[in-house]
Structure 1
Protein backbone atom coordinates (compact mmCIF):
# COMPACT_ATOMS: atom_id res chain seq x y z
CA UNK A 1 0.00 0.00 0.00
CA UNK A 2 1.27 3.45 -0.92
CA UNK A 3 0.05 6.67 0.66
CA UNK A 4 -1.58 9.24 -1.62
CA UNK A 5 0.12 12.66 -1.87
CA UNK A 6 -2.47 14.34 0.35
CA UNK A 7 -1.99 11.64 3.00
CA UNK A 8 1.77 12.06 2.84
CA UNK A 9 1.30 15.75 3.55
CA UNK A 10 -1.21 15.19 6.33
CA UNK A 11 1.06 12.76 8.19
CA UNK A 12 4.37 14.41 7.33
CA UNK A 13 5.23 15.02 11.00
CA UNK A 14 4.82 11.30 11.66
CA UNK A 15 6.78 10.20 8.64
CA UNK A 16 9.83 12.31 9.48
CA UNK A 17 10.09 10.54 12.82
CA UNK A 18 12.60 7.70 12.44
CA UNK A 19 10.55 5.72 14.96
CA UNK A 20 7.52 5.81 12.63
CA UNK A 21 8.55 6.59 9.06
CA UNK A 22 6.65 5.78 5.92
CA UNK A 23 6.39 2.07 6.71
CA UNK A 24 4.92 2.82 10.11
CA UNK A 25 2.36 5.23 8.70
CA UNK A 26 1.29 2.65 6.14
CA UNK A 27 0.90 0.12 8.98
CA UNK A 28 -1.40 2.53 10.79
CA UNK A 29 -3.42 3.10 7.63
CA UNK A 30 -3.82 -0.68 7.25
CA UNK A 31 -4.91 -1.18 10.88
CA UNK A 32 -8.42 -1.82 12.17
CA UNK A 33 -8.93 -0.68 15.76
CA UNK A 34 -12.11 -1.47 17.67
CA UNK A 35 -12.85 0.99 20.47
CA UNK A 36 -15.04 -0.34 23.27
CA UNK A 37 -16.56 2.66 25.00
CA UNK A 38 -16.72 6.18 23.56
CA UNK A 39 -16.86 7.99 26.89
CA UNK A 40 -14.28 9.60 29.15
CA UNK A 41 -11.39 7.44 27.96
CA UNK A 42 -12.71 6.56 24.53
CA UNK A 43 -13.36 10.15 23.49
CA UNK A 44 -9.75 11.44 23.72
CA UNK A 45 -8.36 8.07 22.64
CA UNK A 46 -10.47 8.23 19.50
CA UNK A 47 -9.25 11.73 18.69
CA UNK A 48 -5.63 10.62 18.66
CA UNK A 49 -6.29 7.29 16.94
CA UNK A 50 -8.06 9.12 14.14
CA UNK A 51 -5.38 11.82 14.04
CA UNK A 52 -2.76 9.07 13.72
CA UNK A 53 -4.42 7.83 10.54
CA UNK A 54 -5.78 4.49 11.76
CA UNK A 55 -7.40 3.32 8.54
CA UNK A 56 -10.49 1.67 9.99
CA UNK A 57 -12.26 2.32 13.28
CA UNK A 58 -15.18 0.46 14.81
CA UNK A 59 -16.81 2.32 17.69
CA UNK A 60 -18.86 0.35 20.22
CA UNK A 61 -21.04 1.94 22.90
CA UNK A 62 -24.58 1.37 24.21
CA UNK A 63 -24.98 4.75 25.92
CA UNK A 64 -26.35 8.11 24.75
CA UNK A 65 -24.77 11.54 25.18
CA UNK A 66 -25.71 13.27 28.44
CA UNK A 67 -25.07 16.88 29.42
CA UNK A 68 -22.83 15.68 32.27
CA UNK A 69 -20.52 14.01 29.70
CA UNK A 70 -19.50 17.27 28.03
CA UNK A 71 -16.99 18.23 30.73
CA UNK A 72 -14.63 15.43 29.62
CA UNK A 73 -15.99 13.73 26.49
CA UNK A 74 -14.73 16.35 24.09
CA UNK A 75 -15.94 14.91 20.79
CA UNK A 76 -19.57 15.62 21.72
CA UNK A 77 -21.56 18.86 21.57
CA UNK A 78 -24.76 20.00 23.32
CA UNK A 79 -26.70 19.44 20.09
CA UNK A 80 -25.92 15.71 20.37
CA UNK A 81 -27.43 15.19 23.83
CA UNK A 82 -29.69 12.14 23.72
CA UNK A 83 -28.03 10.66 20.63
CA UNK A 84 -26.14 7.33 20.71
CA UNK A 85 -22.49 7.95 21.55
CA UNK A 86 -21.23 5.44 18.99
CA UNK A 87 -23.09 7.17 16.16
CA UNK A 88 -22.10 10.68 17.26
CA UNK A 89 -18.47 9.58 17.62
CA UNK A 90 -18.54 8.07 14.13
CA UNK A 91 -19.88 11.35 12.74
CA UNK A 92 -17.00 13.17 14.45
CA UNK A 93 -14.50 10.88 12.69
CA UNK A 94 -16.17 11.50 9.31
CA UNK A 95 -15.96 15.25 9.81
CA UNK A 96 -12.35 15.01 10.94
CA UNK A 97 -10.94 12.80 8.17
CA UNK A 98 -12.81 11.56 5.12
CA UNK A 99 -9.95 9.17 4.42
CA UNK A 100 -10.84 6.92 7.35
CA UNK A 101 -13.41 4.14 7.42
CA UNK A 102 -15.60 4.17 10.51
CA UNK A 103 -18.46 2.00 11.74
CA UNK A 104 -20.72 2.51 14.76
CA UNK A 105 -22.07 -0.34 16.86
CA UNK A 106 -24.82 0.80 19.21
CA UNK A 107 -24.87 -1.93 21.80
CA UNK A 108 -22.98 -3.60 24.55
CA UNK A 109 -20.27 -6.24 24.30
CA UNK A 110 -20.89 -9.31 26.44
CA UNK A 111 -20.06 -12.99 26.67
CA UNK A 112 -22.68 -13.89 24.09
CA UNK A 113 -21.52 -11.55 21.32
CA UNK A 114 -17.92 -10.47 22.04
CA UNK A 115 -16.25 -12.94 19.67
CA UNK A 116 -18.55 -11.97 16.80
CA UNK A 117 -18.29 -8.22 17.39
CA UNK A 118 -14.50 -8.10 17.85
CA UNK A 119 -13.53 -10.50 15.06
CA UNK A 120 -11.25 -8.97 12.44
CA UNK A 121 -9.66 -6.28 14.61
CA UNK A 122 -5.95 -5.53 14.52
CA UNK A 123 -6.26 -4.29 18.11
CA UNK A 124 -9.01 -3.62 20.63
CA UNK A 125 -8.85 -0.58 22.90
CA UNK A 126 -11.15 -1.04 25.88
CA UNK A 127 -12.12 2.04 27.85
CA UNK A 128 -15.52 0.87 29.09
CA UNK A 129 -16.85 1.32 32.61
CA UNK A 130 -17.64 -2.17 33.91
CA UNK A 131 -15.71 -5.35 34.66
CA UNK A 132 -18.19 -7.73 33.03
CA UNK A 133 -17.58 -6.13 29.63
CA UNK A 134 -13.84 -5.83 30.21
CA UNK A 135 -13.50 -9.52 31.02
CA UNK A 136 -15.70 -10.58 28.09
CA UNK A 137 -13.57 -8.44 25.79
CA UNK A 138 -10.32 -9.82 27.22
CA UNK A 139 -11.41 -13.46 26.95
CA UNK A 140 -12.49 -12.96 23.34
CA UNK A 141 -9.26 -11.16 22.43
CA UNK A 142 -7.32 -14.16 23.73
CA UNK A 143 -9.44 -16.59 21.74
CA UNK A 144 -9.24 -14.48 18.58
CA UNK A 145 -5.52 -13.72 18.90
CA UNK A 146 -6.04 -9.95 19.11
CA UNK A 147 -3.86 -7.65 21.26
CA UNK A 148 -5.75 -5.57 23.81
CA UNK A 149 -5.08 -2.10 25.18
CA UNK A 150 -6.99 -1.66 28.44
CA UNK A 151 -7.46 1.73 30.09
CA UNK A 152 -9.31 2.68 33.26
CA UNK A 153 -9.79 5.85 35.27
CA UNK A 154 -10.83 6.60 38.83
CA UNK A 155 -10.74 10.11 40.27
CA UNK A 156 -7.08 11.15 39.84
CA UNK A 157 -5.57 7.78 38.93
CA UNK A 158 -5.43 6.08 35.55
CA UNK A 159 -4.30 2.60 34.58
CA UNK A 160 -3.19 1.63 31.08
CA UNK A 161 -1.79 -1.72 29.94
CA UNK A 162 -1.26 -3.73 26.78
CA UNK A 163 -2.16 -7.40 26.88
CA UNK A 164 -1.45 -10.33 24.56
CA UNK A 165 -2.77 -13.31 26.47
CA UNK A 166 -2.88 -15.32 23.25
CA UNK A 167 0.93 -15.34 23.14
CA UNK A 168 3.01 -17.86 25.11
CA UNK A 169 4.04 -16.56 28.51
CA UNK A 170 1.95 -13.39 28.28
CA UNK A 171 -0.76 -12.50 30.83
CA UNK A 172 -4.24 -11.37 29.91
CA UNK A 173 -6.49 -8.83 31.62
CA UNK A 174 -8.15 -11.60 33.64
CA UNK A 175 -4.73 -12.52 35.06
CA UNK A 176 -4.65 -8.96 36.42
CA UNK A 177 -8.12 -8.69 38.01
CA UNK A 178 -9.07 -12.34 38.56
CA UNK A 179 -12.56 -13.82 38.35
CA UNK A 180 -14.26 -11.89 41.12
CA UNK A 181 -15.39 -9.05 38.87
CA UNK A 182 -17.58 -10.82 36.30
CA UNK A 183 -20.35 -8.37 37.15
CA UNK A 184 -21.46 -4.75 36.75
CA UNK A 185 -19.78 -3.48 39.89
CA UNK A 186 -17.32 -0.78 38.87
CA UNK A 187 -17.15 2.58 40.58
CA UNK A 188 -18.71 5.29 38.45
CA UNK A 189 -17.75 8.83 37.53
CA UNK A 190 -21.20 9.94 38.72
CA UNK A 191 -20.47 8.64 42.22
CA UNK A 192 -16.76 9.46 42.49
CA UNK A 193 -16.25 12.40 40.13
CA UNK A 194 -13.56 12.85 37.49
CA UNK A 195 -11.50 15.78 36.23
CA UNK A 196 -11.89 16.23 32.48
CA UNK A 197 -8.18 16.83 31.90
CA UNK A 198 -7.37 13.59 33.73
CA UNK A 199 -9.63 11.65 31.36
CA UNK A 200 -7.84 13.30 28.44
CA UNK A 201 -4.45 12.41 29.88
CA UNK A 202 -5.32 8.71 30.28
CA UNK A 203 -7.17 8.45 26.96
CA UNK A 204 -4.30 9.99 25.03
CA UNK A 205 -1.81 7.69 26.74
CA UNK A 206 -3.99 4.69 25.87
CA UNK A 207 -3.91 5.77 22.22
CA UNK A 208 -0.11 6.03 22.43
CA UNK A 209 0.12 2.49 23.82
CA UNK A 210 -2.22 1.16 21.14
CA UNK A 211 -0.11 2.79 18.42
CA UNK A 212 2.99 1.22 20.00
CA UNK A 213 1.46 -2.23 19.44
CA UNK A 214 0.28 -1.45 15.90
CA UNK A 215 3.76 -0.32 14.86
CA UNK A 216 5.42 -3.46 16.17
CA UNK A 217 7.46 -4.95 13.33
CA UNK A 218 6.97 -1.91 11.10
CA UNK A 219 8.79 0.83 13.00
CA UNK A 220 11.05 1.37 16.00
CA UNK A 221 8.66 2.90 18.53
CA UNK A 222 9.80 0.40 21.14
CA UNK A 223 8.53 -2.93 22.41
CA UNK A 224 4.75 -3.30 22.83
CA UNK A 225 5.09 -3.52 26.62
CA UNK A 226 2.69 -6.43 26.98
CA UNK A 227 1.91 -7.20 30.61
CA UNK A 228 3.19 -3.83 31.87
CA UNK A 229 0.63 -1.86 33.87
CA UNK A 230 1.27 1.88 33.82
CA UNK A 231 -0.31 3.66 36.78
CA UNK A 232 -0.78 7.38 36.13
CA UNK A 233 -1.13 9.60 39.22
CA UNK A 234 -2.67 12.92 38.31
CA UNK A 235 -2.21 14.80 41.57
CA UNK A 236 1.53 14.09 41.86
CA UNK A 237 1.93 13.95 38.98
CA UNK A 238 3.78 10.67 38.58
CA UNK A 239 3.80 7.37 36.75
CA UNK A 240 4.88 3.96 37.93
CA UNK A 241 5.01 0.70 36.03
CA UNK A 242 4.15 -2.72 37.40
CA UNK A 243 4.70 -6.12 35.78
CA UNK A 244 1.63 -8.36 35.71
CA UNK A 245 2.37 -12.04 36.22
CA UNK A 246 0.68 -14.67 34.09
CA UNK A 247 -1.73 -16.74 36.17
CA UNK A 248 -1.18 -20.42 35.27
CA UNK A 249 -4.74 -21.15 36.38
CA UNK A 250 -6.38 -18.25 34.53
CA UNK A 251 -9.54 -19.38 32.79
CA UNK A 252 -9.03 -16.73 30.13
CA UNK A 253 -5.55 -17.61 28.87
CA UNK A 254 -4.32 -20.79 30.57
CA UNK A 255 -3.11 -23.46 28.18
CA UNK A 256 -1.69 -20.90 25.75
CA UNK A 257 1.96 -21.78 26.47
Structure 2
Protein backbone atom coordinates (compact mmCIF):
# COMPACT_ATOMS: atom_id res chain seq x y z
CA UNK A 1 0.00 0.00 0.00
CA UNK A 2 1.08 3.58 -0.63
CA UNK A 3 1.07 6.12 2.19
CA UNK A 4 -0.39 9.61 1.81
CA UNK A 5 3.16 10.97 1.63
CA UNK A 6 4.04 8.56 -1.16
CA UNK A 7 0.89 9.41 -3.08
CA UNK A 8 1.94 13.05 -2.93
CA UNK A 9 5.62 12.46 -3.69
CA UNK A 10 4.91 10.35 -6.77
CA UNK A 11 1.70 12.12 -7.83
CA UNK A 12 3.05 13.37 -11.17
CA UNK A 13 3.85 9.88 -12.43
CA UNK A 14 0.80 8.30 -10.78
CA UNK A 15 -1.26 10.68 -12.94
CA UNK A 16 -0.05 8.75 -15.99
CA UNK A 17 -2.59 6.08 -16.88
CA UNK A 18 0.28 3.79 -17.88
CA UNK A 19 1.56 3.81 -14.28
CA UNK A 20 -1.31 4.78 -11.95
CA UNK A 21 -1.39 3.50 -8.37
CA UNK A 22 -0.93 -0.14 -9.41
CA UNK A 23 2.29 0.64 -11.24
CA UNK A 24 3.57 2.76 -8.39
CA UNK A 25 2.84 -0.04 -5.95
CA UNK A 26 4.86 -2.42 -8.14
CA UNK A 27 7.75 0.03 -8.12
CA UNK A 28 7.62 0.23 -4.32
CA UNK A 29 7.82 -3.57 -4.08
CA UNK A 30 10.69 -3.86 -6.58
CA UNK A 31 14.31 -4.68 -5.84
CA UNK A 32 16.98 -3.54 -8.29
CA UNK A 33 20.74 -4.12 -8.59
CA UNK A 34 22.84 -1.30 -10.07
CA UNK A 35 26.31 -2.49 -11.09
CA UNK A 36 28.56 0.56 -11.23
CA UNK A 37 27.97 4.01 -9.75
CA UNK A 38 29.83 6.08 -12.31
CA UNK A 39 28.62 8.08 -15.28
CA UNK A 40 25.79 5.69 -16.14
CA UNK A 41 24.97 4.52 -12.63
CA UNK A 42 24.64 8.07 -11.32
CA UNK A 43 21.48 9.06 -13.24
CA UNK A 44 20.16 5.50 -12.98
CA UNK A 45 20.34 5.52 -9.18
CA UNK A 46 19.02 9.07 -8.86
CA UNK A 47 16.01 8.54 -11.12
CA UNK A 48 15.07 5.14 -9.72
CA UNK A 49 15.26 6.45 -6.16
CA UNK A 50 13.25 9.52 -7.11
CA UNK A 51 10.65 7.33 -8.83
CA UNK A 52 10.10 5.25 -5.70
CA UNK A 53 11.73 1.93 -6.52
CA UNK A 54 11.56 0.27 -3.13
CA UNK A 55 15.03 -1.27 -2.78
CA UNK A 56 18.26 -0.37 -4.56
CA UNK A 57 21.30 -2.64 -4.30
CA UNK A 58 24.38 -0.52 -5.06
CA UNK A 59 27.50 -2.31 -6.31
CA UNK A 60 30.84 -0.57 -6.83
CA UNK A 61 34.32 -1.22 -5.40
CA UNK A 62 35.86 2.09 -6.45
CA UNK A 63 36.41 5.43 -4.72
CA UNK A 64 35.49 8.90 -5.98
CA UNK A 65 38.29 10.57 -7.94
CA UNK A 66 38.51 14.16 -9.17
CA UNK A 67 38.34 12.99 -12.80
CA UNK A 68 34.94 11.37 -12.08
CA UNK A 69 33.15 14.62 -11.25
CA UNK A 70 32.87 15.78 -14.88
CA UNK A 71 30.14 13.17 -15.47
CA UNK A 72 29.37 11.13 -12.32
CA UNK A 73 26.71 13.51 -11.00
CA UNK A 74 25.71 11.51 -7.92
CA UNK A 75 29.08 12.43 -6.37
CA UNK A 76 30.54 15.85 -5.56
CA UNK A 77 33.77 17.50 -4.42
CA UNK A 78 33.07 16.56 -0.79
CA UNK A 79 33.08 12.87 -1.82
CA UNK A 80 36.67 12.75 -3.07
CA UNK A 81 38.40 9.66 -1.72
CA UNK A 82 35.12 8.24 -0.40
CA UNK A 83 33.80 4.87 -1.56
CA UNK A 84 31.36 5.46 -4.41
CA UNK A 85 28.77 3.28 -2.70
CA UNK A 86 28.91 5.42 0.45
CA UNK A 87 28.84 8.67 -1.52
CA UNK A 88 25.83 7.46 -3.51
CA UNK A 89 23.99 6.24 -0.42
CA UNK A 90 24.37 9.62 1.26
CA UNK A 91 22.98 11.45 -1.78
CA UNK A 92 20.13 8.99 -2.36
CA UNK A 93 19.04 8.97 1.28
CA UNK A 94 18.69 12.74 1.11
CA UNK A 95 16.78 12.52 -2.14
CA UNK A 96 14.32 9.86 -0.98
CA UNK A 97 14.60 8.44 2.57
CA UNK A 98 11.79 5.97 1.80
CA UNK A 99 14.03 3.89 -0.48
CA UNK A 100 15.95 0.99 1.09
CA UNK A 101 19.64 0.98 0.14
CA UNK A 102 21.76 -2.17 0.16
CA UNK A 103 25.54 -1.57 -0.24
CA UNK A 104 27.92 -3.90 -2.06
CA UNK A 105 31.39 -2.35 -1.79
CA UNK A 106 33.58 -5.20 -3.01
CA UNK A 107 34.34 -6.69 -6.40
CA UNK A 108 31.61 -9.13 -7.41
CA UNK A 109 33.07 -12.53 -8.23
CA UNK A 110 31.07 -15.42 -9.70
CA UNK A 111 29.54 -16.46 -6.39
CA UNK A 112 28.75 -13.03 -4.99
CA UNK A 113 27.44 -11.87 -8.37
CA UNK A 114 25.07 -14.84 -8.55
CA UNK A 115 23.90 -14.07 -5.01
CA UNK A 116 23.43 -10.36 -5.80
CA UNK A 117 21.40 -11.08 -8.96
CA UNK A 118 19.25 -13.70 -7.22
CA UNK A 119 18.30 -11.15 -4.54
CA UNK A 120 16.67 -8.67 -6.97
CA UNK A 121 14.01 -8.44 -9.65
CA UNK A 122 16.03 -6.56 -12.27
CA UNK A 123 19.66 -5.65 -12.97
CA UNK A 124 21.14 -2.53 -14.56
CA UNK A 125 24.65 -2.92 -15.94
CA UNK A 126 26.32 0.48 -15.61
CA UNK A 127 29.87 -0.86 -15.63
CA UNK A 128 32.65 0.29 -17.93
CA UNK A 129 34.33 -2.91 -19.10
CA UNK A 130 33.46 -5.94 -21.20
CA UNK A 131 34.51 -8.53 -18.62
CA UNK A 132 32.03 -7.25 -16.05
CA UNK A 133 29.26 -6.95 -18.64
CA UNK A 134 29.78 -10.55 -19.71
CA UNK A 135 29.74 -11.77 -16.10
CA UNK A 136 26.59 -9.80 -15.26
CA UNK A 137 24.88 -11.11 -18.38
CA UNK A 138 25.72 -14.72 -17.56
CA UNK A 139 24.40 -14.29 -14.01
CA UNK A 140 21.16 -12.75 -15.30
CA UNK A 141 20.64 -15.54 -17.83
CA UNK A 142 21.26 -18.19 -15.15
CA UNK A 143 18.82 -16.51 -12.74
CA UNK A 144 16.24 -15.58 -15.37
CA UNK A 145 16.42 -11.88 -14.47
CA UNK A 146 15.99 -9.00 -16.95
CA UNK A 147 19.08 -6.91 -17.67
CA UNK A 148 19.17 -3.28 -18.82
CA UNK A 149 22.58 -2.69 -20.38
CA UNK A 150 24.09 0.67 -21.34
CA UNK A 151 27.46 1.87 -22.57
CA UNK A 152 29.00 5.17 -23.66
CA UNK A 153 32.43 6.27 -24.84
CA UNK A 154 33.73 9.30 -26.69
CA UNK A 155 30.58 10.66 -28.37
CA UNK A 156 28.70 7.39 -28.89
CA UNK A 157 26.29 5.47 -26.69
CA UNK A 158 24.39 2.17 -26.78
CA UNK A 159 21.41 0.76 -24.91
CA UNK A 160 19.47 -2.50 -24.94
CA UNK A 161 17.33 -4.74 -22.73
CA UNK A 162 17.95 -8.47 -22.40
CA UNK A 163 15.11 -10.40 -20.83
CA UNK A 164 15.58 -14.19 -20.47
CA UNK A 165 11.91 -14.47 -19.44
CA UNK A 166 10.99 -13.80 -23.09
CA UNK A 167 11.70 -16.62 -25.54
CA UNK A 168 12.57 -14.21 -28.35
CA UNK A 169 15.07 -12.14 -26.35
CA UNK A 170 18.79 -12.35 -27.12
CA UNK A 171 21.33 -11.99 -24.34
CA UNK A 172 24.33 -9.65 -24.23
CA UNK A 173 26.63 -12.39 -25.54
CA UNK A 174 24.34 -12.99 -28.54
CA UNK A 175 25.02 -9.40 -29.56
CA UNK A 176 28.68 -8.86 -28.66
CA UNK A 177 30.21 -12.34 -28.63
CA UNK A 178 33.61 -12.42 -26.97
CA UNK A 179 34.24 -8.71 -27.45
CA UNK A 180 37.69 -7.29 -28.01
CA UNK A 181 40.84 -7.45 -25.92
CA UNK A 182 41.68 -3.95 -27.18
CA UNK A 183 38.50 -2.41 -25.77
CA UNK A 184 39.05 1.12 -24.52
CA UNK A 185 37.69 2.70 -21.35
CA UNK A 186 36.60 6.29 -20.77
CA UNK A 187 39.89 7.01 -19.00
CA UNK A 188 41.71 6.07 -22.21
CA UNK A 189 39.37 7.37 -24.92
CA UNK A 190 37.38 10.11 -23.14
CA UNK A 191 33.64 10.74 -22.96
CA UNK A 192 31.36 13.77 -22.83
CA UNK A 193 29.33 14.05 -19.61
CA UNK A 194 25.80 14.65 -20.94
CA UNK A 195 26.08 11.54 -23.14
CA UNK A 196 26.44 9.16 -20.19
CA UNK A 197 23.67 11.13 -18.48
CA UNK A 198 21.42 10.55 -21.49
CA UNK A 199 22.16 6.83 -21.74
CA UNK A 200 21.81 6.36 -17.97
CA UNK A 201 18.48 8.19 -17.98
CA UNK A 202 17.24 5.92 -20.76
CA UNK A 203 18.39 2.91 -18.74
CA UNK A 204 16.33 4.16 -15.79
CA UNK A 205 13.33 4.63 -18.06
CA UNK A 206 13.62 1.08 -19.41
CA UNK A 207 13.85 -0.23 -15.84
CA UNK A 208 10.69 1.63 -14.81
CA UNK A 209 8.84 0.23 -17.84
CA UNK A 210 9.83 -3.32 -16.93
CA UNK A 211 9.08 -2.95 -13.23
CA UNK A 212 5.78 -1.08 -13.50
CA UNK A 213 4.65 -2.98 -16.59
CA UNK A 214 4.07 -0.33 -19.24
CA UNK A 215 5.36 0.55 -22.69
CA UNK A 216 7.57 -1.46 -25.03
CA UNK A 217 11.02 -2.26 -23.60
CA UNK A 218 14.09 -2.39 -25.85
CA UNK A 219 14.08 -6.18 -26.02
CA UNK A 220 15.57 -7.41 -29.28
CA UNK A 221 16.57 -3.85 -30.20
CA UNK A 222 19.83 -1.94 -29.85
CA UNK A 223 19.55 1.84 -29.57
CA UNK A 224 22.59 3.72 -30.87
CA UNK A 225 23.19 7.32 -29.81
CA UNK A 226 25.34 9.63 -31.94
CA UNK A 227 26.00 12.65 -29.72
CA UNK A 228 28.10 14.41 -32.35
CA UNK A 229 25.26 14.52 -34.87
CA UNK A 230 22.40 14.39 -32.31
CA UNK A 231 20.99 11.27 -33.98
CA UNK A 232 19.41 8.05 -32.73
CA UNK A 233 19.45 4.80 -34.68
CA UNK A 234 17.85 1.45 -33.86
CA UNK A 235 19.05 -2.00 -34.88
CA UNK A 236 17.13 -5.24 -34.58
CA UNK A 237 18.97 -7.94 -32.63
CA UNK A 238 18.07 -11.62 -32.83
CA UNK A 239 18.83 -14.40 -30.40
CA UNK A 240 21.78 -16.54 -31.45
CA UNK A 241 20.68 -20.20 -31.33
CA UNK A 242 24.34 -21.18 -30.93
CA UNK A 243 25.05 -18.72 -28.08
CA UNK A 244 27.28 -20.33 -25.44
CA UNK A 245 25.57 -18.32 -22.65
CA UNK A 246 21.83 -18.51 -23.30
CA UNK A 247 21.94 -21.44 -25.76
CA UNK A 248 19.06 -20.00 -27.75
CA UNK A 249 16.98 -20.15 -24.58
CA UNK A 250 17.22 -23.92 -24.26
CA UNK A 251 20.56 -24.37 -22.52
CA UNK A 252 21.97 -26.22 -25.53
Q: Which deviates the most, 136-145 or 171-180?
A: 171-180
2:14 and 2:72 map into 1 onto residues whose CA distance is 29
Q: Does 1:211 align with 2:208?
A: yes
2:60 and 2:40 map into 1 onto residues whose CA distance is 12
Structure 2: gaps spanning 5 or more residues? none
For 1:122-176, what per-residue CA distance to the aligned partner results, in whole angstroms no more than 9, with x for missing partners?
1100010111111110011011010000000011111111101353232100101
Q: Does 1:152 align with 2:172?
A: no
1:21 and 1:166 map into 2 onto residues whose CA distance is 25
Tell me the equivalent position of 1:52.
51
Structure number with the higher helix fraction is 2
Shift in Å, 1:112: 4.2
Q: Which deviates the most, 131-140 or 221-230?
A: 221-230
User: What is the TM-score with the length of structure 2 in the denominator?
Assistant: 0.95
Tell me the equivalent position of 1:105.
104
Q: Does 1:197 align with 2:183?
A: no
Tell me the equivalent position of 1:7.
6
Tell me the equivalent position of 2:246.
253
Shift in Å, 1:180: 4.1
Question: Does the 8 A contact of 1:28 with 1:54 survive in 2?
Answer: yes
Q: 1:225 aligns with which of 191, 199, 218?
A: 218
User: What is the TM-score with the length of structure 1 in the denominator?
Assistant: 0.93
Tell me the equivalent position of 1:139.
138
SS of residue paired to 2:198 = helix
Q: Does 1:188 align with 2:185?
A: yes
Q: Does 1:236 align with 2:235?
A: no
Question: Does the 8 A contact of 2:39 with 2:200 survive in 1?
Answer: yes
Shift in Å, 1:224: 2.3
Structure 1: gaps spanning 5 or more residues? none
Question: Does the 8 A contact of 2:130 with 2:179 survive in 1?
Answer: no
1:86 and 1:124 map into 2 onto residues whose CA distance is 16
Q: Which deviates the most, 150-159 or 221-230?
A: 221-230
Tell me the equivalent position of 1:76.
75
Q: Does 1:34 align with 2:33?
A: yes
SS of residue paired to 2:247 = coil
